[in-house]
DNA sequence: AACTGACCAAAATGGTTCTATGGGTCAGTC
DNA sequence: GACTGACCCATAGAACCATTTTGGTCAGTT
């Protein structure tokens, strides 16, 4: 039984789709519940059947984007454990992040969205866990433990560098005009950068890669569960 | 004969010092010419003896910060050509940038300062030239030409990667709380990152390093001249 | 010549009043 | 039970106006 209201209600699904589109285009502050309802082809009261407040709707929206993000990561890593190799993981994280419209709005400093995400302690905790720094902190030790990272540098330095590289490439890839040169595929440059920086000279055994993939997926699943919990909290109780 | 008015007038020097401090603390919009004059211990009319408008004063301020930045780079590279090695140059650029209060305000999106710097075409050109992307675009080909960069990757990719790394480390170093781990000296991590990423396996000859340093200093001098030209334009004609 | 600060006029600001907006509710409908 | 949209009321925003502020000037002083 799915915990997502849109899996049980077509109208709820349409409300979320409309909300996502409007908020991505105009930002939280500029979008009204009336507009969302109109775009979804439902009455305004219908929105309040599913979400207690506008704020809960927006939180639920952001949480679903995170869910998609995590599901993409989990799906890709489960299908091919080699995806956790830094050269594959870094471009995947950045590319998937860049395809998340609310995350991009957040990165571009949408004040109202940031305020919503950080005013409740529980929500802030989740928000913090989706930042590149938390991802690096959680995942890098696992990669290191299984030999996917070179062993001749301190892990703390490697985590810091990975974080800085993700931030730098994420920022530059989201604003190509700021880049000094045009490159074919920035994701490939990132892959190469991370490979040179972090990967060992000798490729790790397949078993080690698989073990690292399992560990990484476990972390992603934990975060995913926390996201589902937030979604539960933001919806009205289902009958 | 120096083109900087503060080298000829003690009062002009005090005005600049006061302006720098006030703008660094409060931002352009919140600071008045009266406050600057009072803090400098001069009459308000005195400010207009040296600068035609408030805007010109602020532009002159920013230009002087750039001048300091460039002078620091030129001084260090001239003193020790090895400073142009990527492992030394990258931390130098980031550290020196982080010690520039107006540049930091700009990075933190001080709207009024950004508006001032970009509304005149000539000023915008200069502003653009001080961005990391322009620096990379101008300097990387020189390093490559003299063998300071590995030759097994396209130069365009290397420039892009260097830019992304500078942006990522600059952003993270200016906001340590956002980092995943505490590291002793982030500048050292940056140095190591850039060395692994860009430097050739075999260290270049000393002559090559010196030649690269000369070429790099020439580029910095050109930018420096442009900055001096802007300073000239922002001051009242000297008698 | 260098400098000052009173002065001017334009712009900004703060306060008040009035109108518009929008989050949320709920009686009525299907 | 699911849904609707008129309605309510708190808040935001617009318009207006009086006052204050500030960029820039310049007659007078040293």
Q: Does B165 touch chain A (CB under 8 A)?
A: yes
Give the mean pLDDT of A210-237.
92
The residues, any chain, with a CB within 8 Å of residue A75's CB and separated by 6 or more, are none
**pLDDT beyond 70 at A101:** yes
Q: Quote the pLDDT of residue B112.
A: 76
Domain ranges of chain A: 62-234
The alpha-helical segments, DSSP class H, found in A80-185 are 86-98, 101-107, 111-118, 121-129, 132-145, 155-173
The gap between A236 CA and D7 C1' (Å) is 23
Q: Quote ipTM for the complex.
A: 0.90
Q: In the numeric block, which tokens belong to residue A105? A: 């709005």
- d(C-alpha B226, C-alpha A135), whole Å: 43
pLDDT level of residue A28 (50, 70, 90 thresholds) = confident
Inter-chain touch B189–A161, beta carbons under 8 Å: yes
Q: Quote the pLDDT of residue A17.
A: 94
Q: Which residues of B touch A168 (CB under 8 A)?
A: 163-169, 171
- d(C-alpha B157, C-alpha B161), whole Å: 6
- d(C-alpha B17, C-alpha B76), whole Å: 25
Ranges of residues in chain B with a pLDDT under 70 are: 1, 120-122, 238-239
Q: Quote the pLDDT of residue B107.
A: 80
**pLDDT beyond 90 at A113:** no
pTM equals 0.91
Q: Does A152 touch chain B (CB under 8 A)?
A: no
Query: Do residues A37 and A12 lie in contact, with contact meaning Cβ atoms separated by under 8 Å?
Result: no
The alpha-helical segments, DSSP class H, found in chain A are 10-26, 33-40, 44-50, 54-79, 86-98, 101-107, 111-118, 121-129, 132-145, 155-173, 186-198, 206-234
- d(C-alpha A17, C-alpha A146), whole Å: 41
The gap between A25 CA and C16 C1' (Å) is 36
- Closest nucleotide to residue B46 (Cα to C1')? C3
What sign for the dihedral angle of Cα B216, B217, B221, B223?
A: positive
The residues, any chain, with a CB within 8 Å of residue B20's CB and separated by 6 or more, are B61, B65, B101, B102
- Smallest CA–CA separation between B86 and chain A, in Å? 14
Q: Quote the pLDDT of residue A122.
A: 66
Give the mean pLDDT of A194-216.
96
pLDDT in tens, A114-171: 777 777 766 777 777 778 888 889 999 999 999 999 999 999 999 999 999 999 999 9
Q: Quote the pLDDT of residue A238.
A: 61
């Amino acid at each position: 039984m799915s915990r997502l209201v849109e899996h049980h209600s077509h109208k709820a699904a349409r409300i979320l789709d409309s909300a996502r589109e409007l908020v991505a285009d105009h930002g939280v502050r500029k979008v009204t519940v009336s507009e969302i309802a109109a775009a979804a082809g439902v009455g305004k009261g219908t929105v309040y059947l599913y979400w207690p407040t506008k704020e809960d709707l927006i939180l639920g929206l952001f949480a679903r984007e995170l869910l998609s993000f995590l599901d993409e990561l989990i799906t890709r890593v489960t299908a091919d454990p080699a995806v956790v190799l830094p050269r594959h993981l870094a471009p995947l994280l950045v590319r998937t992040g860049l395809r998340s419209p609310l995350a991009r709005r957040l990165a571009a400093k949408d004040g109202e969205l940031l305020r919503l995400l950080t005013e409740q302690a529980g929500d802030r905790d989740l928000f913090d866990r989706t930042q590149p720094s938390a991802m690096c902190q959680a995942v890098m030790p696992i990669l290191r433990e299984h030999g996917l990272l070179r062993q001749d540098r301190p892990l703390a330095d490697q985590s810091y560098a990975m974080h800085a590289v993700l931030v730098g490439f994420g920022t530059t890839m989201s604003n190509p005009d700021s880049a000094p040169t045009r490159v074919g595929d920035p994701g490939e440059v990132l892959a190469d950068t991370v490979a040179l920086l972090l990967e060992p000279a000798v490729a790790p055994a397949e078993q080690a890669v698989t073990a690292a993939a399992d560990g990484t997926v476990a972390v992603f699943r934990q975060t995913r569960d926390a996201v589902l919990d937030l979604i539960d909290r933001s919806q009205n109780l289902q009958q």
